[in-house]
Amino acid sequence: MSDLTLAHMLNDAGQLTITIGGRLAIDTTATLKDFLLEQLPTAKSIRLDTSALQEIDLTGMQLICSACWTTQSENNTFSFSGVPAPCLAQAIDNLGFHDHKVCKHNADISCIWCGGIN
């Protein structure tokens, strides 16, 4: 597996689209975390494209969840774009996230792992 790759585009409306590829794992999550923290003040919404992701572990899943929560706490939106990578769907299933219906940190709307990913 290759290391984490990031590409991004911020449009005039403040929508930040981040495309991640490679590995989002315990040894690479700091790169995405630092990038997100740098971008949060200017982004009104964040769309995460995971279609090029090859591997994700629990640390990567937790980072995405935290990014969603942080974005929502700033009254902005967090969502996914594109077709989720097969490894992400498998991780959601393996970790049992598909059983979680609403998120108490996300205004009690559908959890990003349960229907909100598409």
**pLDDT (tens digit per residue) in 65-85:** 889 888 888 888 888 888 888
Query: Which residues have C-beta within 8 Å of that of residue 106, sequence separation ≥ 6?
Result: 68, 69, 72, 112
How many angstroms separate the CA atoms of 3 and 17, rounded? 20
Q: Domain of residue 81: give its range.
A: 5-99
Q: What total of structural domains would you count in the chain?
A: 1
Instruction: Answer for the pair 15, 44: CB distance below 8 angstroms, yes or no.
Output: yes
CA angle 42, 46, 48 (to 5 degrees): 140
3-state secondary structure of 22: strand
Please tell me what DSSP assigns to residue 6.
Answer: E
- Give a yes or no: residue 106 inside a domain: no
- Give a yes or no: residue 118 inside a domain: no
Give me the CATH number covering residue 44.
3.30.750.24
Segment 11-44, tens digit of pLDDT = 999 999 999 999 999 999 999 999 999 988 889 9
